[in-house]
Copies of this chain bind each other. A is one copy, B any other.
Amino acid sequence: MKRLTLKDIAKALNLSVPTISKALSDSHEINKETKEKIVAYSHEHNYQYNALARSLKTGKTNIIGVIVSTISNSFFSQILEGIEESSLFQQYNIIIMQSRENPAIEKKCIDILYSKGVDGILISPVSDRANLNYLEQLHHSDCPIVIFDRINNSVNTFKIGIDNKKAAKRATQELIDRNYRNILHITGLANGVTNERLTGFQEALKQNKIIFDETLLLRCDLSQIQIVEQQILSKLKELEKEQHRPDAIFTATDLLTNRTIGLLAQQKIKIPEQIALIGFSNTNYAFSFNPPLTCVSQPAKNIGKLAFEKMIYILECRLKKREIVYETIELDADITIRESI
């Protein structure tokens, strides 16, 4: 069984191709009875229009490309769910690609999406530099870009994320309010998001007249889980040895929070009695942790939803030749108090 085309239907019903096309798009130009005949036939034979041909003709694919670093990261998968949900609603589809924290792969993803003729690209960029010029250039030609999550850059478009500094500051303040003073901050290697969180952490300390202690800062290489665990463990041991055990830990990413809680359990260090823990975490599992985790969770699904909606807005404006005023939207992250601090 080969794929049915307008031509096939036209031949079968002794009509012309454009007539079929118009009938199926419910044009008022077509006689009611012929229309019904055509619709009936095409339903019966399960006609599906060829989106490639249509897009080639119309210049519109109704596909939005999405680039994240890792699909299975729960933060991103929640964003993706938000995007997918909105896209369904708007008759759009999405192509998802993974940049794997690698600028070269990211470039390739962008190129592929562009060659597929996506109507726009939603992206959480790998780095603060790398492909940003390229994205800017695309955005100002025929492929609009909306940036989410990692919004600390100069691209002139819509950017949706959270106020990381503020969220980190609040989390730190929660610890300080409970009289924790020696707070170990565990974060990733330099990148926009974690840097902002570090700043928030430091500001909270300063505001409370606590002097920032370099030894209470650990930067982990997040690319390999074993290295992360090893780094955290040796930091804990180092501090232990110097009789400088922190009374609380603030972890800057989901992964770090997760591993830290597991490692503390393994070392039989009781949370929060011996060390308190607050962290960024976007899993639904935080309440099942040991103990139930107090955490900062980002409105991930909503970030996805907003990013998608802004894209649609751009596409509409361009269609109607309307001026666009870009904004950067920083949503608030929730702090959920449970039992770990």
Contact = CB atoms under 8 A, between A and B. Distances in A.
Interface of A: 1-3, 48-53, 55-56, 61, 63, 70-72, 74, 77-78, 80-81, 84-85, 88, 93-98, 105, 111-112, 114-117, 137, 140-142, 258-259, 261-262, 265, 283-285, 287-292
B98 A96 contact: no
Contacts of A96: 80, 84, 94-96
A140 B289 contact: no
Nearest to A54: B115
A115 B1 contact: no
Contact of A77 (B71, B88, B142): B71
Contact of A72 (B74, B93, B290): B74
Contact of A97 (B50, B77, B84): B84
Contacts of A111: 48
Contacts of A72: 74, 77-78, 80-81
A117 B50 contact: yes
Nearest to A96: B96
Contacts of A262: 287-288, 292
A72 B96 CA distance: 13
Given A52-B116, A84-B97, A265-B291, 14 more contacts: A2-B142, A52-B117, A70-B81, A71-B77, A71-B81, A72-B81, A74-B74, A85-B98, A93-B116, A258-B284, A262-B292, A283-B285, A285-B289, A289-B290
Copies of this chain present? 2
A94 B105 CA distance: 15
A278 to B, nearest CB: 15
Name the residue among A74, A262, A290 with the largest chain B CB count within 10 angstroms: A290
26 contacts: A1-B140, A1-B141, A1-B142, A2-B142, A3-B141, A50-B115, A50-B117, A51-B117, A52-B52, A52-B116, A71-B80, A71-B84, A72-B74, A72-B81, A74-B77, A77-B77, A84-B97, A93-B95, A94-B95, A96-B96, A258-B284, A262-B287, A265-B292, A289-B289, A290-B290, A290-B292
A3 B142 contact: yes
B97 A48 contact: no
A49 B115 contact: yes
Contact of A112 (B84, B85, B93): B93
Contacts of A265: 288, 291-292
Contacts of A137: 1
Contacts of A63: 95, 116
Nearest to A255: B284
Contact of A52 (B56, B142, B284): B56
A84 B99 CA distance: 11
Interface centre among A56, A116, A259 (most CB of B within 10 A): A116
A115 B48 contact: yes
Contacts of A94: 95-96
B288 A258 contact: yes
A93 B291 CA distance: 41
